[in-house]
Structure 1
Amino acid sequence: MDPSGRAAIVTGSSSGIGKAIAIRLLRSGYRVVLNYSTDDERAAQTLSLCQGIDAGVVLVKADVSNALAAQGLVQRAVNEFGSLDVLVNNAARVLDRPALEMTEDEWNCVVDVNLKGAFLCSQNAARQMLTQSGEGVILNIGASTGIRGRRNGVNTCASKAGLMVMTQCLALELAPRIRVNTIVPGLTLTEETERRFGLDDLAMRQAREEQIPLRRLGRPEDIADAVMMMLSDEARFMTGQRVVVDGGQYMW
């Protein structure tokens, strides 16, 4: 896909992996809609950074798990840029709790963003893409825990597993006009994962790195590069697939 004049939405893009993806898209020539839901100050900082790269960027506050908000997010992209060519479903929430202690609200708040939100955004984006000429691309950002579960994360793991199967369903229904794939990061070093896993502690980080054949944690830029690969013409015959970017930690 030639990025010239193309427009992309990246949900959950005020920090971490989403921020890196948005920056990479801008530097490659895409026009980008940034999205966030809660932290106004951090989102404003990311917008300012992105505007220093290219003026073709807007910021939209929207809860993707809300149907009207998801619809409005897509419409904003069309209003600003005249089209929508790429959707990256990156918005995610994590709330760990032992399964027998997890409340319904704790289940819903994670699944609603990670799975329902990705569906609502994909549905609205696909409807728009099919009115346009040319190819559309939807990329879902999964997680290795959607393939191999972990303790205290049944809501997150279930939502990410569902996201991968949703990818296949949409790929079947939207072909040949729209390609849909999942990118599956392994443990990636962001402010959130550093806090959650204590990765600012050198011994803790080294212990994690020793579990990875390439002997380092993922970086947000690794995922952004995978996004660009999947948007390129070299991936033109790929749909319904999952691309694992984890340094070889999980091989199956």
Structure 2
Amino acid sequence: MRGTYRNSEGPIELKGRVALVTGAAHRVGRDIALGLAREGMHLVIHYHTSAEAAQRTLADVRALGVAAIALQADHSRAPDVQALFAQVAAHFGRLDVLVNSAAIMERKPLLDITEADWDRVLGINLKGPFLCAQAAARLMLAQPEGGAIVNIADLSGLRPWPSYAHHSVSKAGLIMLTRVLALALAPTVRVNAVAPGPVAKPIGWSDKRWQALGARLPLRRTGSGQDVAEAVVFLLKSDYITGEVLVVDGGRSLV
């Protein structure tokens, strides 16, 4: 991935590179994995409990003509992460891209959030990406081409959402982690984040409610996981961008 990212001519070529996408079994993570596969990247499909969905994503990725494997791990536990990246290194011999997409989002009044709630959300949304970035960096720093990391943040990390306190804090932390990693790992590894807005209909929402939300946005529509995937590809190909947060929200943060 051109470790120093200097004297480049045109965008970085992703074809033939290896990417690990956490939480790639479904929703936005799946869309990101498919988007990278369409660019010719070989994929590691990470999942925790969604084994069947991961196998479907794996089949769809392989159908695009690239190599891919699906690996299970609880990415909030250091031993699992160490084993995950050891398997990646053993199978592909390298890692060029990490996309930290695995996350959970829970709505709960501030005073009802328990210690267990807090630890679970922060563990999955912040501790996990840290552990994965740390493990990925060790592989990337050891290869001449370096690598790139993209963290999937959220608008809630930029704006306070009172009913999602633990989620907002976890995503704000992920944004700061992005900036810290960008400085700590430069110039060999670039690190950026994408902060999506309404790109995946929340569980329990009706189509009517989802469409009504889109109608209130400046672009008059909700987005999709493909919009996030395209943003990830843009950041991976742009070798003079690091430490940035790309908001993909149809203008929601403006209103």
TM > 0.5: yes
Q: C-alpha offsets along residues 165-199 of structure 1, whole Å, 9 cap, x if unaligned?
A: 01111111100001000101001125xx2x24x14
User: Structure 1 residues 204-213 or 60-69, which shifts more?
Assistant: 204-213
Q: C-alpha offsets along residues 207-235 of structure 1, whole Å, 9 cap, x if unaligned?
A: 20122111111100000000110111xx2
The residue that corresponds to 1:130 in the other structure is 141
For 1:96-245, list aligned pairs within 5 A.
96-190=107-201, 193=202, 195-196=203-204, 198-200=205-207, 202=208, 204-232=209-237, 235-245=238-248
Q: Distance in 2 between matches of 1:99 and 1:171?
A: 32
Partner amino acid for 2:233? M
* Superposition CA RMSD, Å: 1.3
**What's the CA shift for 1:206?**
3.0
The residue that corresponds to 1:251 in the other structure is 254
Partner amino acid for 1:238? I
Task: Tell whether the 8 Å contact from 2:43 to 2:66 is kept in structure 1 after alignment.
Answer: no
The residue that corresponds to 2:98 in the other structure is 87
Q: C-alpha offsets along residues 107-152 of structure 1, whole Å, 9 cap, x if unaligned?
A: 1111001000000000000011000011310000000011112132
> Normalized against structure 1, the TM-score is what?
0.93
- Secondary structure of the 2:174 match is helix
- Secondary structure of the 2:14 match is coil
Q: Distance in 1 between matches of 2:16 and 2:63?
A: 18
Q: Distance in 2 between matches of 1:43 and 1:134?
A: 29
Task: Tell whether the 8 Å contact from 2:22 to 2:102 is kept in structure 1 after alignment.
Answer: yes
User: Structure 1 residues 68-77 or 109-118, which shifts more?
Assistant: 68-77
Task: Tell whether the 8 Å contact from 1:70 to 1:124 is kept in structure 2 after alignment.
Answer: yes
Partner amino acid for 1:151? P
- Secondary structure of the 1:123 match is helix
Partner amino acid for 1:217? T
User: Structure 1 residues 166-175 or 208-217, which shifts more?
Assistant: 208-217
Task: Tell whether the 8 Å contact from 2:97 to 2:149 is kept in structure 1 after alignment.
Answer: yes
Q: Distance in 1 between matches of 2:146 and 2:217?
A: 36
Q: How many residues align?
A: 244
Which runs of 5 or more residues in structure 1 are unaligned?
Answer: none
Relative to structure 1, the CA distance from residue 206 to residue 5 in structure 2 (aligned partners, 3 Å threshold; closer, same or farther) is closer
Task: Tell whether the 8 Å contact from 1:179 to 1:239 is kept in structure 2 after alignment.
Answer: yes
The residue that corresponds to 1:52 in the other structure is 63
Structure with the larger RCO, 1 or 2 (CA within 8 Å, 6+ apart): 2
The residue that corresponds to 1:7 in the other structure is 18
Q: Distance in 1 between matches of 2:175 and 2:210?
A: 28
Partner amino acid for 2:49? T
